[in-house]
Amino acid sequence: MGTLAYRESQPGKQSEMCVLSQPTNLARIAEFVGSQARRAGLDEDAVYDIQMAVDEACTNSMNHAYEGQGDGLVSVCCYEDETDFVVSVTDHGRAFDPGTVPEPRLNAPLEEREIGGLGLYLMRKLVDRIEFSSDKMLGNRVVMRKHRKVRPSGCQSPE
Amino acid sequence: MAVTTTHLKRCDLIALEGRYDSSTAPEMEAALRAAMDAGVFRIVLDMGKVDYFGSAAIRVLVMAFKECRRWNRGDVRLANVPSRVQHVLELAGISPLVTTFDEVVLAVGSF
């Protein structure tokens, strides 16, 4: 099932993609976020980081919030402000409290590795700032920020 | 996204290509599972053409490590790991557990 809605506005404004909660849509989301991040001036390493964080956020929405049911909606919204490229991922599935997910034990021997919680852990590592909210009306929302390299104001070329 | 398995004398070589997220990681799992079900526990993963390796793929990798190393019967070794994938394996605390090689021939020869 393809993209349900796609809205693109002027550079600097927000663009949004809305898909059904089916993991086959993850590649399409990565492409969308990648093109928006490049347009916001992120370098390729930063583009990869934000794509991966968004991929993990959407995977959580699909597999946990919607419990693997493919008929929910996941909305991915990209915009930029003065300092950051920002992506929000919103779903209207089961409420989610990231505080209840234990941190993965990254130093444990292989036999004792429980890989639950790894996606969440990677999301936190890959972006500069992350916020979670859960609201009956607004749904579950993850907002992730990656710093843009902003040109110092003193370096502008003379007109 | 493509998974190609080659049966060698001392191990199986599984070449991964493309994007491994939660929708495509099951195909990688199926290839590993097929090797292990056939009694092959010495496996080289050629990662050279992997564009993306998410937590679902890391989960599959850890499953394969556990199963292949049981009773010292084998191992999964990685070759040609792209730097971005390497970075994620480091973040996930996987790299200290893995033996990686710059070339497939070295990984295959290590068995």
pLDDT value for A104: 83
The pLDDT value recorded for residue A106 is 80
Q: In the Cβ-directed half-sphere of A155, how many Cα atoms lie within 13 Å? A: 3
Inter-chain residue contact A118 with B58, CB threshold 8 Å: yes
The tens digit of pLDDT for each residue in B45-79 reads 999 999 999 999 999 999 999 999 999 999 999 99
Interface touch B92/A106, C-beta < 8 Å? yes
What ipTM was reported for this prediction?
A: 0.91
Q: Residue B56 belongs to what H/E stretch?
A: helix B55-69
DSSP-derived secondary structure letter, B3: E
Alpha-carbon distance of A85 to A34, in angstroms, equals 11
B18, β-bridge pairs: B50
Residue A79 distance to chain B (closest CA, Å): 23
A119 contacts B55? CB cut-off 8 A:
yes
B interface with A, Cβ–Cβ < 8 A, is 19, 21-23, 52, 54-56, 58-59, 62, 65-66, 69, 84, 88, 91-93, 97
> Which of B52, B62, B88 is facing A113, going by the closest CB pair?
B62
| pTM for this prediction | 0.89
CB contact under 8 A, A62 and B91: no
With beta carbons less than 8 A apart as the criterion, state whether A107 and B93 touch.
Answer: yes
- 3 state SS for chain A: CCEEEEECCCCCCCEEEEEECCHHHHHHHHHHHHHHHHHCCCCHHHHHHHHHHHHHHHHHHHHHHCCCCCCCEEEEEEEECCCEEEEEEEECCCCCCHHHCCCCCCCCCHHHCCCCCHHHHHHHHHCCEEEEEEECCCEEEEEEEEECCCCCHHHCCCC
pLDDT digits (tens, 9 = 90+) for B9-20: 999 999 999 999
Chain A residue whose CA is closest to B25: A23
Segments in chain A below pLDDT 70: 1-2, 8-12, 114-116, 150-159
